[in-house]
Amino acid sequence: MHCYTLRTEQFVPAPLERVFTFFSRPENLEQITPGHLHFSILTPSPIPMRVGTLIDYRIRIRGVPQRWRTLISYYDPPHRFVDEQLRGPYAKWVHRHEFARAAGGTRIVDEVVYALPFGILGRVIHWAFVRHELEAIFEFRRAYITRLFGAEHGHSPASMLSVIDPWT
pLDDT tens digits, 39-85 = 999 999 999 999 999 999 999 988 899 999 999 999 999 999 999 99
What's the pLDDT score for residue 159?
42
3-164 adopts what CATH topology? Alpha-D-Glucose-1,6-Bisphosphate; Chain A, domain 4 (3.30.530)
State the Cα–Cα distance between residues 93 and 115, nearest whole angstrom. Answer: 7
Residue 109, pLDDT score = 97
Return d(Cα 33, Cα 37) in angstroms, integer: 7
pTM beyond 0.75: yes
Residue 10: alpha-carbon gap to chain centroid:
13
pLDDT at 1: 85
Counting other chains too, the contacts that 37-46 makes at CB distance below 8 Å and 24 or more residues apart are 37/61, 37/137, 42/67
Q: What is the pLDDT of residue 62?
A: 85
| Cα 81 from Cα 60, distance rounded (Å) | 25
Beta-bridge partners for 10: 108
Distance from C-alpha of 10 to C-alpha of 40, rounded to nearest angstrom: 25
116-137 per-position pLDDT tens digit:
999 999 999 999 999 999 999 9
In the sheet that holds 160-164, the strands lie side by side as 40-41, 54-61, 64-76, 80-87, 92-102, 105-115, 3-12, 160-164
Tell me the H-state helices in 81-118: none
Q: How confident is the model at residue 166 (pLDDT cuts 50, 70, 90)?
A: low
Element housing 14 (H / E): none
**Which of the two residues, 150 and 78, has the higher pLDDT score?**
78
Q: Which amino acid is at 24?
A: S
The mean pLDDT of the chain is: 91
Query: 88: left (phi > 0), else alpha (psi -120 to 50), else beta?
Result: left
Going by pLDDT thresholds of 50, 70 and 90, the confidence category of residue 165 is low
Mean pLDDT of 24-34: 95
Distance, CA of 58 to CA of 77 (rounded, Å): 26
Per domain, the residue ranges of the chain are: 3-164
